[in-house]
Amino acid sequence: MPSVITKDGVEIFYKDWGPKDAPPIVFHHGWPLSSDDWDAQMLFFVQNGYRAVAHDRRGHGRSTQVSDGHDMDHYAADAFAVVEALDLRNAIHIGHSTGGGEVARYVARHGQPAGRVAKAVLVSAVPPLMLKTAANPGGLPIEIFDGFRAALAANRAQFFLDVPTGPFYGFNRPGATISQGVIENWWRQGMMGSAKAHYDGIKAFSETDQTEDLKAITVPTLVLHGEDDQIVPIDDAARLSITLLKNGTLKTYPGFSHGMLTVNAAVINPDLLAFIKA
């Protein structure tokens, strides 16, 4: 399997599809999933003439189940190891959920001004900060994330069924069209990864303040968010992020869930393509 070794010895699995001389798009997946979560986007963009690259975050998917380094700094550095190994330049970086935080940290720390990043997209992304604090009163209470940790530690397999069956794709909403395949694919991806990485990752996605990352980004950045996102509520995420970005565009989707990239790919993919081509 194609992989790179990071400076601290972690093997990071990646996919590299499409012509090597085509414009590259780098995809950064959400918690607790893998690069497989981008199937609908990677196939779409390869068919539209792009090079699609996606990696499994450390401790996730087919990458090494290492004990440490489950934080935004390491996530971004691991992504850079892939980009550097493939020598990707003027790439578009697209991140979903925790992957959106990874993109923000990556662009702020590794993408400017070296010419590595052309544009960025944050989809249902966790920045600037999910946790409720005195400075972020609209955030979610720590008890919610403590509950995630408790459920994961007690019965990860059941927890990883409950999330996609319920709020992640909005399958708990009246009249929702439920896909058992989507639920089981979410579970499959999650259970491939490390419980330790997933447990530590909850702190990474909920408690990392990325205000300064967003302020540091100068490339054109598209922020996409579902208005019925029950995992990362839009008001304290996308609607705050857009006020911090120097060159940002916000597009929201009434009724769309946190998992809209999968269940609403027919709507989201053309919007991504239009932004990339602009």
Q: Is 229 a catalytic residue?
A: yes
Whether 223 and 120 have beta carbons less than 8 Å apart is answered as: no
Q: Is 115 helix (H, G, I), strand (E, B) or coil?
A: coil
Q: What is the dihedral of CA 56, 274, 121, 125, to 10 degrees?
A: -90
Catalytic option among 35, 63, 97, 206: 97
Closest CA to 187 of 32, 12, 41: 32
Q: Is 28 a catalytic residue?
A: no
Whether 37 and 29 have beta carbons less than 8 Å apart is answered as: yes
Alpha-carbon span 256 to 19, nearest angstrom: 33
Burial class of residue 185, CB neighbours in 10 A (0-12, 13-18, 19+): middle
Q: Is 258 a catalytic residue?
A: yes
Q: Bridge partners of 27?
A: 54, 94
Across the beta sheet with 3-5, the strand order is 3-5, 11-17, 51-55, 24-28, 91-96, 117-123, 221-226, 248-253
Catalytic option among 29, 55, 60, 258: 258
Q: Is 29 helix (H, G, I), strand (E, B) or coil?
A: coil
Task: Count the Cβ atoms, other than its own, within 10 Å of residue 68.
Answer: 13
Catalytic option among 37, 78, 229, 236: 229
The set of catalytic residues is 97, 229, 258
